[in-house]
A and B are shown apart, each in its own frame.
Chain A
Amino acid sequence: MTVGERVMRRLVDRVELDDCSRDDLLHDAIRLGRERGRCGTAGEIAALASTGIELRARQATNGDAAAFLRQGLWFGGALTAIAGVASLSPVAFAADAGPAPIAALGALIVALVGIVVNCRGLVPVVRVATSVAAVAAWWAVQLDQLGAPESALVTTSAIALALGARPSLDGVARPSVVLVPTVVAIAVGALAAITDVDASSVTVAFLTIVVPVGLLVVSAADPRVGVAAAVALFWRFVATDPAGLAAIVVAVRAGESTLGPVIRWIVMGAAFLLATGLTHRNLRLIAAR
């Protein structure tokens, strides 16, 4: 068995089909890969990965577009909550930190634990915890202990989790062996950034720009992650302070400022619109036979 065929076997093991269909699928994928050469094998591997993701997403949502949307909001809320931990950590762990940033970070960590455990009974705990974090972050902004973008990040997470729905995989699938360690590793990595502001900024940028771009690629098979990407990109758009843009434009015209913030605002707005449009298209496609 070649490396490609071993990869196919691994992927087929994770496809949500009965055992007989899995055997047939593996047999046909290997046979077609041998007939169509290396490119054919690569194509079969990509199709197996995509089908595996799509069938899992369908099983979790029963193919319902509203469920795709609500679960995507939940994923987006989780992603922005992780970014929020990375963003708040340097402030909350500073020697002169006040109670507001510490309360916001503590509440966000409680919410993240609830998300990772993925138990129905913890949903209200997650929602209350992120709401508490949003209020505490707003309070910290009033006390000049936190920036408005960081507060907006926590608020975005709280709203997404309030509107979203926990993916229901009861009796169908076990927690993903990839997803859970990934979330835990990112959360631990974010906490490792607590003593280093630069590391924190890089982590936040990674989680709200690089990860969403990756999620948009996967969203053709699972539109839920496209919604999650749109949530993160929405925050990037809001964090560029649209309210202050008019003043920046005036300053640019007077030669007192550069165009940087305006360009950043346009790019983030375009990225958010692209993510929303792509997700809408993918939702329509997945509803078709």
Chain B
Amino acid sequence: MANTAIREPTLYVLSALAAGPLHGYAIIKAVEELSDGRLKLRAGTLYGALARLQADGVVAFDGTAKEGGPERRIFSLTRAGAKLLADELDRLEANAAMGRSQLRRATS
């Protein structure tokens, strides 16, 4: 898709996966923790996003795992996904730096 804008929930999902492969439920819990409880993803929302990200080559299946329950599919960030996340974080950092510099100019 031509438009590469990233929505906030997707940014958190990619950030959660940046630390290592996770299954769906673990991604939801990681996003909740990373956002200090602000973002509580629904399962439907997460799997819809994962399907989109997988189609775009950003996320991939990475085997299965069994942790005291049924066998779960594990997702991991691809190289393209890691680059997308890094680029987005660079863009956010640049925006934040620009905003802070404008604030300093206003207060000086």
Which residues of A does B touch, CB under 8 Å?
15, 17, 20-21, 23-25, 27-29, 31-32, 36, 43-44, 46-52, 54-55, 58, 63, 284-285, 287-289
Contact = CB atoms under 8 A, between A and B. Distances in A.
Interface residues of B, number: 33
A287 B1 contact: yes
Contact of A28 (B4, B7, B24, B55): B24
Given A289-B56, A289-B58, A21 B51 contact: yes
B1 A29 contact: no
B56 A21 contact: no
A48 B44 contact: yes
A54 B58 CA distance: 19
Contacts of A289: 1, 4-7, 10, 49, 52-53, 56, 58, 84
- Tell me which of A23, A25, A28, A63 has the highest count of chain B C-beta atoms within 10 A of its own C-beta: A28
B1 A27 contact: no
Given A24-B47, A47-B44, A288 B24 contact: no
Nearest to A284: B3
- Tell me which of B42, B43, B50, B84 has the highest count of chain A C-beta atoms within 10 A of its own C-beta: B43
Nearest to A12: B44
B100 interface: no
Given A24-B73, A44-B43, A48-B43, A54 B48 contact: yes
Contact of A43 (B1, B42, B52, B73): B42
5 contacts: A29-B43, A32-B28, A44-B42, A51-B44, A289-B58
Contact of B73 (A20, A31, A44): A20
Given A25-B24, A288-B6, A55 B45 contact: no
A47 B73 contact: no
A52 B51 CA distance: 11
A28 B25 contact: yes
A285 B73 CA distance: 28
Given A23-B70, A289-B53, A31 B3 contact: no
Interface string B30-70: 00000000001011111111111101101000000000011
Contact of B72 (A24, A55, A287, A288): A24
Contacts of A284: 3
- Tell me which of B44, B51, B56 has the highest count of chain A C-beta atoms within 10 A of its own C-beta: B44
B2 interface: yes
A50 B41 CA distance: 14
A51 B56 CA distance: 17
A23 B2 CA distance: 32
Nearest to B70: A27
Given A287-B1, A287-B2, A289-B5, A58 B42 contact: no
Given A23-B70, A25-B24, A51 B1 contact: no
